Chains A and B, each alone.
Chain A
């Protein structure tokens, strides 16, 4: 149980284009989903927290107009990187928290974004 999927696993795009990454909880309902980015050999940095049906809460320094997050259902959240630039190249990982009093977060396999 507690499986989270991400799509695509890898994407290469040209500078200036937009890319959408999907995060799905496959066997549970996730009232809260989190988006992280991870640079090589570094830790995970929280970008934003999204709750189903409401606006995402972004961490300080993360541009909400550049990283659009939508959490339209209890099993799907999307991250859209708009007008991507080479410095946006990174490993993007989502996680989903189960509803109720549980703290556990389960992570997706990640999406490797390369902007050329």
Chain B
């Protein structure tokens, strides 16, 4: 089955700096890669996603890049703000799996003022 590795497990940046979280996946059939933000005691919130036919996608301060050959994808947050502090999860899935998501272990991001 699919195995998703996520690094780093914790990340601390100063407000205004950029944060990068990286994930690798094992199944070359995976073709959809979402990123979720989870605040304490809440459910995950979809913040951005990318499909395998696209190399990069951007939404304001958030961007995701995908390298299908290397089987890795990354989340980039620019101009970080304290409210970006949360746990971020990457995931991968493909249609034949019934769209079930395989999650990375998560990255706890702390943005200090």
B44 CB to closest chain A CB, in angstroms?
5
Chain B neighbourhood of A67, CB < 8 A: none
Q: Is the CB of A109 within 8 A of B43?
A: yes
Q: Is the CB of A57 within 8 A of B98?
A: yes
Chain A neighbourhood of B49, CB < 8 A: 103-104
Interface size classification for chain A: 20 to 34
**Bound CA–CA A32/B100 (angstroms):** 10
Interface bits A79-97 vs B (CB < 8 Å: 1, else 0): 0000000000000010101
Q: Is the CB of A106 within 8 A of B98?
A: no
Chain A neighbourhood of B41, CB < 8 A: 110, 112
The total of chain B residues at the interface (CB under 8 A) is 23
Interface residues of A in 60-116 (CB under 8 A from B): 93, 95, 97, 103-110, 112
Asked if B61 lies at the interface with its beta carbon under 8 angstroms from chain A, I say no
The 8 Å CB contact of B99, one of A57, A93, A103, A108, is A103
Q: Is the CB of B106 within 8 A of A93?
A: no
The 8 Å CB contact of B32, one of A32, A42, A103, A112, is A103
B106 CB to closest chain A CB, in angstroms?
5
Interface bits B73-113 vs A (CB < 8 Å: 1, else 0): 00000000000000001000101001111111110000000
B105 to A, closest residue via Cβ:
A43
B1 CB to closest chain A CB, in angstroms?
10
Enumerate chain B interface residues (CB-CB to A < 8 A): 32, 34, 36, 41-46, 49, 51, 89, 93, 95, 98-106
Leading 5 A-B pairs by shortest Cβ distance? A107-B43, A103-B32, A109-B43, A110-B43, A107-B44
